[in-house]
Amino acid sequence: MAGDWEELNLDGGETRATKAARPWADLLGQRFDLLKGTLKVELPVGLAVPEVRVTTRQPAVGSKPVDLRQRRDLMKILDQARQMAAERMGKTPGYLAPLSADPTGRRQFSFSRLSGQLSQPVVPVEADSFEAEAFAPPRLDPRGLGTLVHAVLAELDFAGSAGESERLSEHVADLVRRHAPMHLPDSTEQELEAPIDMLRRFLASPRAAEIAAAQQVYRELEFLLPWPPEDSPAGGRYLQGFIDCLYGDVAGQWRLVDYKTNRVARENVAAAAAAYEMQMLVYALAAERILKRPPAELVLCFLAPGVEYRFPWDDAARGQVVELVDGAMPRAINART
């Protein structure tokens, strides 16, 4: 029917119609004469030949074209905006005003950031302690040292190097040097001997041997724990975190291990461990939900002095962790709605 037709306008932006510098123009050029518009290939029977009109004349444009060669001086625009604001010449629209945070709307929490109570300083090693040489030099950034050691322990293959202590020792040194630029960028080769020695001592421990012989090992295991624990997950709040190591031993018992690189003397380990009680109990509760059974052991490994501290996990601990976490949450966030 006359008048029932479709039209496609293509702008090649070329100075010569026979030049096909764009992929789509090259494709059309294989089928049509780009200067005359005539068809260059045969169409299947029954298909109408499309009408193609080629023009090299630039159409008239009513508006003035923008000179794209000009560059806006962004700093000048910012200075003008600041001046207008200072002289009260402008008005900020209501929809651009800062939004106030709704603390009750938050649904996911990193338990380590709920409150400053969750990251208490641990008892440092005394300067005259006989163990002082076993600890990392004070110059090393404690946070960087911790993340470096955790990164190495997460990547290290305990079982694959069992019985090959010399090769494992060299592998530890290589991993420390490879991860150091990200975690301790300003450290020297001599300073890296501290985390290397710390890791080598741990790998020679009975705990490392037990992990190497474990039937199942999970490292840096992320979890989302509904909170409060009795609440339904749908639309509720969550605690989020990472368990350093969760492994099932040869007897089928699950054991939870968390590594610490604190510079703490042996006689002060119990005081230092108290700062991590809530962390370990949250981990235990999360592991229990994952495993559908309670973990047999909660172990805090202080790698510098080579000492372990164990937390009990029973009904009393389950009740205690709820009180600790609820007490650490800001009242507005912890309010029931």
Q: 225: how many CB neighbours lie within 10 A of its CB?
A: 23
d(CA 315, CA 325): 16
- Residue 337: predicted pLDDT: 40
Region 49-61: mean pLDDT is 76
d(CA 289, CA 281): 12
- Compare 257 and 58 and report the one with higher pLDDT: 257
d(CA 213, CA 255): 13
Taking phi first (over 0 means left), then psi (-120 to 50 degrees means alpha), and beta for anything else, what does residue 159 get? alpha
- Residue 105: predicted pLDDT: 66
- Residue 231: predicted pLDDT: 59
Q: Is the peptide bond before 228 cis (omega within 30 degrees of 0)?
A: yes
User: pLDDT over 90 for what percent of the chain?
Assistant: 39
- Residue 42: predicted pLDDT: 80
Q: Is 303 in contact with 198 (CB distance < 8 Å)? A: yes
Quote the strand ranges of the chain, DSSP E.
108-110, 216-227, 237-248, 254-260, 297-302, 307-311
Which tokens is 76 given? Answer: 């000048």
Region 50-73: mean pLDDT is 69
CA-based angle 152:250:221, to the nearest 5?
Answer: 40
Half-sphere CA count of 283, side-chain side, radius 13 A: 29
Q: Is 326 in contact with 227 (CB distance < 8 Å)? A: no
- Compare 177 and 329 and report the one with higher pLDDT: 177
> Could you tell me the pLDDT band of residue 132, with boundaries at 50, 70 and 90?
very low
Could you give the dihedral angle defined by the CA atoms of residues 261, 264, 266 and 271, in that order, rounded to the nearest 10 degrees?
A: -100
- Lowest model confidence (mean pLDDT) among 32-36, 53-57, 99-103, 292-296: 99-103
- Residue 164: predicted pLDDT: 63
d(CA 236, CA 162): 44
Residue 313 has pLDDT above 90, yes or no: yes
Question: Is the pTM of the predicted complex or chain greater than 0.75?
Answer: no
Share of the chain residues as helix, strand and coil, in percent rounded to the nearest 5: 40, 15, 45
Name, in order, each residue with C-beta under 8 angstroms of 328's C-beta and a sequence gap of 6 or more.
Answer: 114, 115, 117, 118, 278
- Residue 148: predicted pLDDT: 94
> Could you tell me the pLDDT band of residue 94, with boundaries at 50, 70 and 90?
low
Q: Is 153 in contact with 219 (CB distance < 8 Å)? A: yes
Task: Select from 151, 118, 154, 140 the least CA-distant residue to 262.
Answer: 140
Region 69-89: mean pLDDT is 75
Enumerate domains of the chain plus CATH numbers.
Answer: 16-46 (no CATH), 107-334 (3.90.320.10)
Residue 87 has pLDDT above 70, yes or no: yes
**pLDDT tens string 7-52:** 667 666 554 555 555 677 777 777 888 777 788 888 777 777 777 7
Which tokens is 234 given? Answer: 């749908």
User: Which CA distances in Å does 231 have to 64, 73, 315?
Assistant: 64, 55, 18
- Residue 89: predicted pLDDT: 74
- Lowest model confidence (mean pLDDT) among 50-59, 138-147, 167-176, 241-250: 50-59
**pLDDT tens string 216-248:** 999 999 998 888 887 555 557 788 889 999 999
What are phi and psi for residue 108, nearest 5 degrees? -125, 135
Region 50-70: mean pLDDT is 70
Angle, to 10 degrees, between the axis of helix 165-183 and the axis of helix 142-155?
Answer: 130
Region 242-263: mean pLDDT is 94
Name the one residue in this structure whose structure tokens are 């975190």. 241
**280 three-class SS:** helix
- Residue 198: predicted pLDDT: 93
d(CA 226, CA 76): 51
Region 159-169: mean pLDDT is 66
- Residue 83: predicted pLDDT: 82
> Could you tell me the pLDDT band of residue 159, with boundaries at 50, 70 and 90?
confident
Residue 190 has pLDDT above 50, yes or no: yes
Residue 81 has pLDDT above 90, yes or no: no
